[in-house]
Structures are given as structure tokens and as C-alpha cells.
Structure 1
Amino acid sequence: MTNESQYAEIKQGEKGAWISIGAYLALSAIKLVAGYYYASQALTADGFNNLTDIVASTAVLIGLRISQKPPDKDHPYGHFRAETIAALIASFIMATVGLQVLIDAVRALFQGTGEAPSLTSAWVAVAAAAAMMFVYTYNKKLASRINNQALMAAAKDNRSDALVSIGAAVGIFGAQLGFPWLDTVAAFAVGIIICKTAWDIFYSSTHALTDGFDEKELNTLRGTIARTRGVREIKDIKARVHGSNVLIDVIITVDPTLSIVESHRISDEIEQRMERKHNIMSVHVHMEPSEPTVASVEQEDRTNSIV
């Protein structure tokens, strides 16, 4: 896949980010107004959750825009990590809002007003959950089609938001059944989910920015390379995440009697297999001659003795 194709796919990913932003703008306004008017802390907390999602989706959009810049003298690998940096910034904002929601929920729980929210607020939460499931389905399909990890992460956030709205609705329905404190408990649960999402984004972003890579996935990549015809041994393999891309550096040993053309064929086949099986387009292969085996040394000694 060429850089032009990658940039074109990133451009398509912007559509999903814009749809998320539009949905969050509308839903956060509706939830905050309805939560205040119908006295539902859970729905209000869900509205604040969507406000953080606007920031997160905007960060994804900005990251996608910056990552489309071509490589330059200072960025020979391109600007793909802008997506990761934007996500890291969004995680701090989400954590701040999540903590505020938790503080407000705990304060309200101890105050014990006992006021049950209106049933209308529950139906607002149900409608919002349905809308977010639609956005999730669209973004998930688009992310799978263009293989964009940032958009796939945004789609998972859409799904979690739908679940948060369902939780808020359950709390409100419970309050209608004579347990008004359930609405506050639901608000507390929403705050926990916001903080958990912020932590997940923070962890994955910092892990990628410090060149961390999943060990199980690395072993899977190692197995694919090891099964390539002509590869005798893998002496070392490293991988790192660069935005939505994975960069691989691998050192392999091959038959020392191979020609340059034959060795180059092995390198090409490794690159083709990594693209076909794992959608990885950036693989740097370094080849070294394999150590002679005991059998080959004995055969050479016999030959020399005959001569």
C-alpha cells in the first residue's frame, strides 16, 4: 500500500469523526437540558460524558488531519503519531470531567434529597442509547473497511456511551419504582465509566508513545516470518506502533550461499506475507548468513580430506 492510499483512507476516517462530533453535540445538549429539567443526576452525568466525547472525537479529527501531512526533514516516518498524542490529551480532559461527576454524585448521595427524576428522562436516555448504537455501527464498519485503528477506538467509545445511557435509564426507572437513590448511584457509575475510559486511552497512548508493543502479537508476527520459505532463524524482531501503522524491524538468517537476488526474494515474500496476513506495510528486514551446522562442517571436512 502506498502512502497516497494510506492518506486517502485516513481522509475517509474523518467522516466517522465528524458524525461522532455531530451526534455528541446534539445528545449532550438534549441530556443536559432534560437532566436539569427532569431532575435526573444520571442523565446529567451522561450529558457531561458526551461533552468529553466531543473533545475526544475532536482530538481524533485533529490527529487524523495532522497525520495526513507527508514526511518531511524532521519527520521522515510521517506524522502518524499525531493521532496518539491527540488521544492522550483527550484522556486528561475526560479524567477531569469523570472525577467531577463522581464528586457531585457522592455529594448528592450524602445529601439524600430523595427526589425521583421524571420518567421522561429515562426515555430520553433510551433514545440516546439507540442513536449511539447507530453511530457505533457506522464507525465500526468504516474503520474495518479502511483499517483505521483510531476510528475503531472511537467506535468502541460510541458503544460504551450507548451502554452508559442504558445504565442511566436503568437508574431512572429504578428511582420511579421507589428507589430515588438509584439515580444518584447510576450517576456515580457513569463517573466510574468515564474515568475507566480515560485510563484505558491514557494507558494505550503512553504505551504506544514509549514504543511498547503487545508480546502476544509480536509472537504472532514472529511465527508468520519464521514460516516464510528460506528463513532459517529469527535472531531478533522488534515492533512499534506509529499512529495506525505498525513498524517492524527483523533480523533473520539465511543460507550463506544464496545470491543477492535470491535473498531479496525472501525479503519481498516476508513483506508480502506481513501485508496480506496482518496488514502491515512497513517491514525492515536485515539478513545475515546462518551459522554452519555440525553436519555441514563434517561434510566439508570429508570433502577437503578427499581432495
Structure 2
Amino acid sequence: MPTSAPPDSAATEVYASGVRRILWLTLGLNLAVCALKAGVGAWTGSLAIMADAVHSLTDSLNNVMGLVVMRWSTPPPDREHPYGHLKFEAVGALGIAAMLGIACFEVVKPAVMRLIEPASGAVEMNPTALALLVLVLAINIFVAIYERRAGRRLHSKLLEADATQTFGDIWITLGVIAGSVGIWLTGWWWLDVVLAIPVALAVLWSGWAVVRGNLPWLVDANAIAPEEIQQLAMSVPGVVDCHAVHSRGLIGRQVFVEMHLITAVGDVESSHRITEEIERLLRQQYGPVQATIHVEPERYAEHAN
């Protein structure tokens, strides 16, 4: 007896509008950060700061990509996509991971250039430029914390991935500031090269964190432990056995559950009421859930009471 709960289109639209609003806000802030870094880099002649500006530009491109992804991930299920479009969001998050790889390259490239052609004399660092970099750092910290909190509140993998990248940007900016201060105080050009290595590793780690967080969703890993679903189903009066339990999706957004159920009642209508109660409990505990429950004869029981 397959049963299913129609997706809550109103809740989906509230979610989509919330994510879009946050993406537009962070896009504006990231563009401002990019402009500040590019201006300081051109003013001081610092290759590291210019590379950091390019990294901030990738942040802005990620926001644009996120807005495009939201356009494709939020429509309700249709004939071509009967399970909805939410995985477009996970694909977008993996795109952000790819952008992190590009950002890593942009960190390493100026370091290699400095090794080949030492350019410490060409960098003219000053207190005003350092103050602007600190301002940029403060904006990045605000964006990262705000976007991560919003992503967790809305259960948005896209926002969380974008926040992870912004935290990577913070590490890069810290490295650039430290190197700039060192060059300003000592004239040691190789400080940029020394700091570029841990910054590159931090960016790579951020990219791996994004991939690790989204692959289970894309490859349909279990969203909920089967034992938890079995325990919940067995708590409903009239249930004799629950087995062959599978789930996929993202808790808090949309989870699809399949199970085989055996009841102690003798008619279809009573079994249907039991399946509806199981679905209600699943939604109460895990958020939006669509369940397909196959009711079997009692002789198929595997874990009978």
C-alpha cells in the first residue's frame, strides 16, 4: 500500500525566498570586498593581495551560481523529475568546491612568482592599506558567520557550503595581512611564500569539507538510520513488524522513506490509518518526509513481537 505526503509548496517557497535573500546580501558584500582588495592590491603593488581579490571574485561568482541553482532546485516535482529538484542544490555546492580549487591555485601562483622573481621592492605597504585589509577581514567574518547560521537554520547545503568557502577566504586574508605586515616591518619578501602554503592547505581542506558534506546526498546514502525508523514504526499500535527499511534525501528538507510493514489488523482501511500515523510521526521527528509503505501478510514478518 504506497502512501505519500505531497510536498509543502508554501514551505518550499519560504525556504527559497529566504536563501535568495541571503545570497543577494552576501553577493553585494562580496563584491564590495573584491573591489577593496583589488584597489589595495593595485595601490601597493602586492601580488598576494591581488590574488586574494581574485578569490573574493570567486565568492561573488558562487553567489551568482547559487541564485541560478535556486531557480532550478526549488520547483515542485514534475513529470521529468518526480522526486523534485533538490539535488540541483547539491550539484551547486560541489561547484563551489571546484571554485575552492581555483582559489587554491590563485594562492599558490603569486607565491611561485615571488620565488622566481622576488618582488619585495615593488610592494609599497602602508598603515592605510593594512587598515583597509582589516576592514575587509571584518566583513568576511560577518558574512561567513551570518551565512553559516542562516544555512543551518534553513537546512541549506548551498548556504553552508558558501559559508565554508568564506571561512576559507578569512584564512587567506589573515595570511595576506600577516605577510603584508611582515614585509612592511622587515622588507622580507619571502614571508608571503611561507604563509602561502598553510593558506593553500586551508583552502583545500574547505573544498574537501564541501565535497564530504554533499556526496552522501548525491549518492543516496541513508538519510536516517533504519533502526530509528523501525523503532518509530513499531511504536504504533497494531504494527507487528517493520523491515526492508530504506531512506534517502536530506533531513529537514526532504526525505524519502521506503519500508515493508505488517499489521495485526485484518482490513485495508485500518492498515491505511496505521501507515498514516507512521508518516505523521516521521514528519514530526524529521521534517518533510514522503513515505512508501508496502503492507504485507503476517507470514512475512521478520521481527515479530
Q: TM-score range by the shorter chain?
A: 0.7 to 0.9
Indicate the RMSD between aligned Cα atoms, in angstroms.
3.2
Q: CA offsets per residue over residues 146-175 of structure 1, 9 Å max, x none? A: 333322332333333234323322332333
- Secondary structure in structure 2 of the residue aligned to 1:227: helix
Report what 1:301 is aligned to: none
Distance 1:293 1:276 in 2: 27
Equivalent in 247, 253, 257 of residue 239 of structure 1: 247
- 1:274 equivalent to 2:279? Answer no
Equivalent in 192, 196, 205 of residue 183 of structure 1: 192
Report what 1:227 is aligned to: 232
- Secondary structure in structure 2 of the residue aligned to 1:76: coil
Instruction: Give 1:14 shift.
Output: 0.1
Deviates more, 1:254-263 or 1:122-131: 254-263
Q: Which runs of 5+ in 1 are unaligned?
A: 297-307
Report what 2:112 is aligned to: 106
- Secondary structure in structure 1 of the residue aligned to 2:259: strand
Distance 1:101 1:181 in 2: 14
Instruction: Give 1:243 shift.
Output: 11
Instruction: Give 1:203 shift.
Output: 5.0
Q: Which runs of 5+ in 2 are unaligned?
A: 1-6
**8 Å Cα contact 1:21/1:54 also seen in 2:** yes
Report what 1:218 is aligned to: 224
Report what 1:263 is aligned to: 271
Q: CA offsets per residue over residues 14-44 of structure 1, 9 Å max, x none? A: 0111111111111112112212322334332
Residues 33 and 235 of structure 1, relative CA distance in 2, 3 Å threshold? same
Distance 2:301 2:255 in 1: 32
Instruction: Give 1:54 shift.
Output: 1.4
Distance 1:244 1:56 in 2: 24
**8 Å Cα contact 1:71/1:79 also seen in 2:** yes
- Secondary structure in structure 1 of the residue aligned to 2:224: helix
Question: What is the 5 A alignment of 1:56-71?
Answer: 56-71=62-77
**8 Å Cα contact 1:80/1:244 also seen in 2:** no
Residues 38 and 103 of structure 1, relative CA distance in 2, 3 Å threshold? same
Q: CA offsets per residue over residues 56-95 of structure 1, 9 Å max, x none? A: 1111111111223333221222222222233333433442
Report what 2:210 is aligned to: 201
Distance 2:243 2:109 in 1: 53
TM-score, normalised via structure 2 length: 0.79
